[in-house]
Amino acid sequence: MTALLDVRGLSKSFGGVEAVRDVSFALAAGELLALIGPNGAGKSTCFGMLGGQVRPDAGRVRLAGADITGLKPRRIWARGVGRTFQTAETFASMTVAENVETALHGRTAARSAETRRLLGLVGLAAAAGRPAGTLSYGDVKRLELALALSNTPRLLLMDEPTAGMAAAERTALMQLVAGLARERQVGVLFTEHDMDVVFAHADRILVLDRGLLIAEGPPEAIRADPQVRAVYLGEGLTFSEAG
Amino acid sequence: MLAVSGLDAWYGAAHILRDVDLAIGAGEAVALLGRNGAGKSTTLRALMGLVPRVTGTITFAGRDLAGLEPHARARAGLGYVPEDRRIFSDLTVLENLEVGRRPPRPGHPAWTPERLFDLFPNLAEMRRRPGGRMSGGEQQMLALARTLMGNPALLLLDEPSEGLAPRILEQMAGAVRALKAEGLAILLCEQNFRFAGLICDTAYVMARGEIVHRGPFAELAADEARRDALLAV
Amino acid sequence: MDFLVVQFLTGLASACSLFLVASGLSLIFGVTRIVNFAHGAFYMVGAYVAYVLTERWSGALGYWGGLLCAALVVGAAGAAMEMALLRRIYRAPDLFQLLATFGVTLMVEDLVVLLFGPEDLLGARAPGFKGAVEILGQQVPRYDLFLIGLAPLVLAGLHLVLRRTRWGILVRAATQDREMVAALGVNQRWLFTSVFALGTALAGLGGALQLPREAVNHSMDMTIIVEAFVVVVIGGLGSITGAFLAAVLVCELNAFGILVLPEVSLVLVFAVMAGVLILRPHGLLGGAPAEARAMRLAIPPPWKPFTSAERLWVVGGLALAAALPLVAGAYALTVAAEVAIFALFAASLSFLMGPGGMPSFGHAAFFGLGAYGAALAVSGAGLPMAAALLVGPLLGLAGAVLFGWFCVRLSGVYSAMLTLAFAQIAWAVAFQWVGLTGGDNGLLGIWPEGFARTPHGFYWLALAICATGIVLLRILVFSRFGYRLRAARDSAARAETVGIDRMRVQWAAFAVAGLFAAIAGALFAFLKGSVFPDTLGIPLSVDALAMVLLGGVETVSGAILGAIAYKLLAVWLISETDQSKLVLGAVIVLLVVVFPQGLGGQITRWRRPT
């Protein structure tokens, strides 16, 4: 069986700095895969290369066997990839409902029904008439998810999906995503800083540090991995003056 | 020296900081820890006057900073080293230092390029190199050196360890310790616990825009369970 | 061969003043992010002041001293403008600063006529550089050789100042990252003022140095400002060396273009500019765009369809407008028809700038092309008015499709400056292609026919077409296309990830805006009975910009109100005073200072109390 997403040898440099080096991994349909790592590890660059915002220097990205490397974002979208952004990339001058309607295709009546369904799904039904520019950060993240889902994607790329939310909201949102993954066999790749979220919801975890994939495995193995602990706590380093 | 109370900050509609209290004594080194997105960088930016909407009080050396523009805060003695370094890439090392130059504080020796090159010997070898053609570690040293040229009384350091190779990290830790030994007060945002431990006496931990822990650094370092709960994976 | 060398030298000599002006413009933009439209006016003032001083002071010392003093006077005036006017509006949207400097330009144009009279002034020859030298058997003016030597010296001098002085280092740092410079304790206010002083002094010197070469007149500001824009865009914003190279390139193209293709020498320059920008979107030596380099208008709140009460107001207003011929005389009806035409013109620009998020400095291109299209249909093809009104605008549409293709590929201020350059191409073609367009003499005898021959008949026709056009534009804003357009403006990244082709949507918006501007232009041709190159000119483009900005980009209706107020004011001023530009400029400056969000923004706030 071919993986839903298959990434091989992905690399990218910016002005001599290697942001991502030879990263390879695979993601199955219905799986929640977390990509974690400290600031500057290359997570966003990785995401950009998968979503078409960044053109890789080397490597291949395959979606269900088809090569999508270096395609434009809207072509990747057309193949069934929805993504959310780390910073708010919504249509700030429109209402929440208008945001989703703009992203949808089909006839007007069908669109407004689908919009209501999607907003209900992400818990934004009550905010449908509010300008997107006035949403709180957490609600922007919900809208991002609704936009990413507008295309009934088979792969979801989520860059920090729960940033700006309270703990209970984070759990609810991730449960929603997990439900989608299970029911519709959507593959989900997400970055996240809240480790509670990562360990509670990810099926597998990738750890990126300075552009390199340093660990990959189920949550318990990652938690126990000394190299991962070193990356997060700095214990792998030796200081001559350590005191 | 620095007293912050009830600091709230917003970016647009996003409420980033909530009721942050901080205190730093003269010559003290304080670590501001927390995971990505906890609000550490925004705290430093708010102290520098770089966040558009801020409420709460910031008192520095007995002076209320409310409403002061960034340049006035720098002149008052705050030295800010941003997370992304923000080196002027078209300017050489010496020119970058020149931008930061301010008159010395009374009773303290002025920082000069030569004194800074003693602190960061790497930079001495590339005085005329444009900032854009330096490695990340060299840029980080230059960013710190450039801020020191302003002869600050309090350093606001935003993740100086980020993306540095271990050898460079050691040099950086050594340099910051030397600065502390000279009596400079330091507020250090860090994700690298070990690095922060080499420098700081006091630890604050932030999560979701709030201070969730404060206490002596050694105490947090000793309490592994607490530390992991707050910071680790 | 020898002749070509001399032509090359002439080009080099012309490059000197252009380089001085462009380098000042570039410096000012780099640090303050202000597109200083008044830069041409400072150049002109430099020439006038130099004329006065050199007439008064005698001897070589008096002459050269006069030129230098002229530059200093202009620099002081530039600093004064920065402190008195621009400091108040740094927080307003970028385009308001451009509008304010345009207001100053209008005032200066009238002021120099008031002070120095309307006729051309011929300055004295430069002492020590009179006459010509023989080079390869050809006569080359000595003064040209002086200018050829001076330009590299000024370039070197600027380099020294920017590299070797603390001030220069701060200027370069601020060009890259203003916020960081402030965080390091530098008070930007004085940096801005001093950059303005130096930049405008360079413009003043550029004007003063032209004294021995050409007559001083009150329209030299517009010619130079367009060329300076072109040079800055080709060279790369903020790059002095780029400005030097581009100035030489432009002047050589002019010098040789005249030999090869005299009719289209101007077009050549703009074609090269477009080519450079497609290959290097930030100019020859321009860096990647810094954070603020994108000329972003503040994102407005969501558009709201009219409430039923507001619909009633609109219908009532239209009914009142339609009833105007019952009370108004012929002159008033002609004015009213012109107002209606400009309301459609402004609405089309507002469509491009508001939902489209693409400011245009050259919207008159499409207006003028529409006017020429209609006029040519009548005078060239002998079509009746109705057919001409249908066919004429297609020329504007074609122009918009062509120019838009380039503009949507560039970002922010580069795109806006490209629109200005394209408008100048259109203007140059109309001006130089005498065989087709009649050049400066224009096309005459484009009179309306049938019921539209009477003032009220034509007024009704104009009102009907313009009202329909505005309604269509408004419907378009609320259509699926309008949403996709706003989506592309709000977030290009998000738009692309939901399947919207940003460039194609924005290109289509260009075409729509161009078409409606061209319809207005076609009506304008019949209103005036004639078409002149002015209909493509910069002043008309800026008029439209002023209408939209003063009315407020936030709403379609804002542009209508802006157009009515601005046009009535302009018509009234022209009838009341000889110094209409002075008063209009002052009014623009005042409005920008008092209502930095525009009149329409004020109305929106009333409509949507928070």
Convert the pLDDT of each residue in B183-199 to its tens digit: 999 999 988 888 999 99
Q: Which band of pLDDT confidence, cut at 50, 70 and 90, is reported for residue C434?
A: confident
Q: Which pLDDT belongs to residue A81?
A: 94
Q: Which pLDDT belongs to residue C610?
A: 37
> Within a domain: residue B225?
yes
Q: Which band of pLDDT confidence, cut at 50, 70 and 90, is reported for residue C131?
A: confident
* CA C8 – CA C138 distance, rounded (Å): 12
Residue B103, judged by CB atoms within 10 A of its CB (0-12, 13-18, 19+), counts as exposed
Nearest partner of A105 among A97, A90, A115, A95, judged by Cα: A115
* CA C580 – CA C595 distance, rounded (Å): 22
pLDDT in tens, C245-279: 999 999 999 888 888 776 667 678 877 887 887 78
**Neighboring chains of A (3 or more beta-carbon pairs < 8 A):** B, C
- B72 contacts in chain C (CB < 8 Å): 187
Confidence check: pLDDT of C292 > 70: no
Confidence check: pLDDT of C295 > 50: no
CA-based nearest residue in chain B for residue A19: B163
Q: Which pLDDT belongs to residue A243?
A: 33
> Within a domain: residue B4?
no
Confidence check: pLDDT of C234 > 70: yes
Q: Which pLDDT belongs to residue C332?
A: 92
Nearest to B70 among C170, C176, C183 (CB): C183
- Sheet harboring B63-64: ordered strands across? B14-24, B2-11, B53-60, B63-64
Across A47-51, average pLDDT: 91
Instruction: Render the burial of A150-188: b for 16+ CB within 10 Å, e for the rest.
Output: bbebbbbbbbbbbbbbeeebbbebbebbbebbeeeebbb
Across C81-106, average pLDDT: 88
Across A153-160, average pLDDT: 92
Q: Which pLDDT belongs to residue C351?
A: 93
Q: How far is CA B36 from the centre of its chain?
A: 16
Across C85-113, average pLDDT: 88
The mean of the pLDDT values for chain A is 86
Which letter does DSSP use for residue C118 in this model? S
Residues 6+ apart with CB under 8 A from A230: A236, A237
Q: Which band of pLDDT confidence, cut at 50, 70 and 90, is reported for residue A19?
A: confident
Q: Which pLDDT belongs to residue C607?
A: 56
* CA A117 – CA B57 distance, rounded (Å): 45
- Is any Cβ of chain A less than 8 angstroms from the Cβ of C299? yes
Mark yes or no for CB contact C491/A101 under 8 Å.
no
Confidence check: pLDDT of C244 > 50: yes
Alpha-carbon distances of A120 from A111, A123, A128, A163, C127, rounded to whole Å: 14, 5, 9, 20, 83
| Chain C (445-504) residues lying within 8 Å, Cβ to Cβ, of chain A | 480, 483-484, 486-487, 489-491, 493-501
The mean of the pLDDT values for chain B is 91
Mark yes or no for CB contact B98/C166 under 8 Å.
yes
- B159 contacts in chain A (CB < 8 Å): 39
Number of domains comprising chain B: 1
* Predicted ipTM > 0.85: yes
Among C166, C180, C187, C299, the strongest candidate for a mutation testing the B interface, having the largest count of B CBs within 10 A, is C180
Mark yes or no for CB contact C176/B88 under 8 Å.
yes
- B102 contacts in chain C (CB < 8 Å): 184-185
**Main-chain dihedrals φ then ψ at residue A207, nearest 5 degrees:** -115, 125
Per the structure block, which two tokens stand in for B214? 């404060």
Q: Where are the beta strands (DSSP E) in A51-192?
A: 58-63, 66-67, 81-84, 155-159, 187-191
pLDDT in tens, C510-542: 999 999 999 999 999 999 999 999 999 888 998
- Exposure on the CB side of residue C287, measured as CA atoms within 13 A: 17
pLDDT in tens, A133-145: 878 777 888 899 9
Q: Which pLDDT belongs to residue C296?
A: 42
Across B7-23, average pLDDT: 87
| Chain B (63-102) residues lying within 8 Å, Cβ to Cβ, of chain A | 83
Q: Which band of pLDDT confidence, cut at 50, 70 and 90, is reported for residue C8?
A: very high
Nearest partner of C333 among C450, C451, C460, C523, judged by Cα: C460
Residue C462, judged by CB atoms within 10 A of its CB (0-12, 13-18, 19+), counts as buried
Per the structure block, which two tokens stand in for B20? 């942050």
Per mean pLDDT, which range of B1-10, B28-37, C80-89 is the poorest?
B28-37
- Is any Cβ of chain B less than 8 angstroms from the Cβ of C186? yes
Across C321-347, average pLDDT: 93
Q: How far is CA C244 from the centre of its chain?
A: 22
Among B10, B36, B90, B193, the strongest candidate for a mutation testing the A interface, having the largest count of A CBs within 10 A, is B36
Alpha-carbon distances of B7 from B39, B164, B203, C150, rounded to whole Å: 12, 31, 18, 57
Hey, is A17 helix, strand or coil?
A: strand
Q: Which pLDDT belongs to residue A233?
A: 63
Confidence check: pLDDT of C2 > 90: no
Q: Which pLDDT belongs to residue B12?
A: 67
Percent of chain C clearing pLDDT 90 (strictly above): 53
| Chain B (171-190) residues lying within 8 Å, Cβ to Cβ, of chain A | 173-174, 177
Q: How far is CA C223 from the centre of its chain?
A: 11
Confidence check: pLDDT of B161 > 90: no
Q: Which band of pLDDT confidence, cut at 50, 70 and 90, is reported for residue A236?
A: very low
Q: Which pLDDT belongs to residue C290?
A: 47
Percent of chain A clearing pLDDT 90 (strictly above): 49
Which position has the token pair 């602190």?
B119
Alpha-carbon distances of C491 from A82, A87, A162, B80, B211, rounded to whole Å: 16, 11, 20, 31, 33
* CA B120 – CA C352 distance, rounded (Å): 53
* CA C402 – CA C449 distance, rounded (Å): 32
Mark yes or no for CB contact C180/B82 under 8 Å.
yes
**C299/A40: higher pLDDT:** A40
Q: Which domain holds residue B210?
A: 27-51+67-231
CATH class held by domain C2-279: mainly alpha
* Domain chopping of chain C, boundaries: 2-279, 328-537
Rounded to the nearest angstrom, the minimum Cα separation between C499 and chain A is 4
Contact C474, C311 (CB under 8 A): no
- Exposure on the CB side of residue B171, measured as CA atoms within 13 A: 17
CA-based nearest residue in chain A for residue C301: A93
> Within a domain: residue B57?
no
Q: Which band of pLDDT confidence, cut at 50, 70 and 90, is reported for residue C300?
A: low
- C184 contacts in chain B (CB < 8 Å): 71, 74, 99-100, 102, 146-147, 150
Q: For the residues of C300-362, what is the DSSP string, one character each?
A: PPPP-PPPHHHHHHHHHHHHHHHTGGGT--HHHHHHHHHHHHHHHHHHHHHHHHTTS----S-
Per mean pLDDT, which range of A224-233, B67-76, C232-241 is the poorest?
A224-233
Q: Which band of pLDDT confidence, cut at 50, 70 and 90, is reported for residue A1?
A: low
Rounded to the nearest angstrom, the minimum Cα separation between B69 and chain C is 8
Alpha-carbon distances of C465 from B164, C386, C404, C519, C526, rounded to whole Å: 66, 12, 25, 8, 13
Mark yes or no for CB contact C180/B100 under 8 Å.
no
The mean of the pLDDT values for chain C is 88
Residues 6+ apart with CB under 8 A from C346: C544, C547, C548, C551, C559, C560, C562, C563
Q: Which pLDDT belongs to residue C193?
A: 96
Hey, is A189 helix, strand or coil?
A: strand
> Within a domain: residue B59?
no
Q: Which pLDDT belongs to residue C49?
A: 96
∠C164-C168-C172 over CA atoms, to 5°?
Answer: 120
Hey, is A203 helix, strand or coil?
A: coil
Mark yes or no for CB contact A151/C299 under 8 Å.
no
Residue C544, judged by CB atoms within 10 A of its CB (0-12, 13-18, 19+), counts as buried
Between helix C538-551 and helix C94-116 the angle, nearest 10°, is 130
Residues 6+ apart with CB under 8 A from C25: C36, C39, C199, C203, C228, C229, C232
Per mean pLDDT, which range of A211-215, C66-70, C356-360, C575-579 is the poorest?
C575-579
- B91 contacts in chain C (CB < 8 Å): 169, 172-173, 176
Mark yes or no for CB contact B233/A38 under 8 Å.
no
> Within a domain: residue B178?
yes
Interchain CB contacts (distance < 8 Å): A and B? 81
Q: What share of chain B is helix, strand, coil (3-state, %, to 5)?
A: 40, 30, 35
Confidence check: pLDDT of C227 > 60: yes
Contact C147, C13 (CB under 8 A): yes
Confidence check: pLDDT of A194 > 70: yes
- Is any Cβ of chain B less than 8 angstroms from the Cβ of C185? yes
Output the domain CATH number for residue B177. 3.40.50.300
Rounded to the nearest angstrom, the minimum Cα separation between A151 and chain C is 8
Confidence check: pLDDT of B49 > 90: yes
**Neighboring chains of C (3 or more beta-carbon pairs < 8 A):** A, B
Confidence check: pLDDT of B31 > 60: yes
Percent of chain C clearing pLDDT 70 (strictly above): 93
Q: Which pLDDT belongs to residue C396?
A: 96
Helix (H) or strand (E) holding B59: strand B53-60
Nearest to C483 among A51, A98, A148 (CB): A98
Contact C584, C383 (CB under 8 A): no
Helix (H) or strand (E) holding A5: strand A5-14
pLDDT in tens, C14-30: 999 999 999 999 999 88
The domains located in chain A, with CATH, are 30-55+71-90+135-233 (3.40.50.300)
**C406/B102: higher pLDDT:** B102
Q: Which pLDDT belongs to residue A238?
A: 45
- Is any Cβ of chain A less than 8 angstroms from the Cβ of C291? no
- C172 contacts in chain B (CB < 8 Å): 88, 90-91, 95
Across B118-140, average pLDDT: 90
Alpha-carbon distances of C356 from C520, C553, C600, rounded to whole Å: 20, 11, 18
- Is any Cβ of chain B less than 8 angstroms from the Cβ of C169? yes
Segments in C433-533 forming alpha helices (H)? 434-437, 455-477, 480-490, 492-497, 502-528
Q: Which pLDDT belongs to residue C609?
A: 42
Q: Which pLDDT belongs to residue A93?
A: 85
Contact C26, C190 (CB under 8 A): no
- Exposure on the CB side of residue C491, measured as CA atoms within 13 A: 23
Which letter does DSSP use for residue B8 in this model? E
Among C485, C497, C505, the strongest candidate for a mutation testing the A interface, having the largest count of A CBs within 10 A, is C497
Rounded to the nearest angstrom, the minimum Cα separation between C302 and chain A is 5
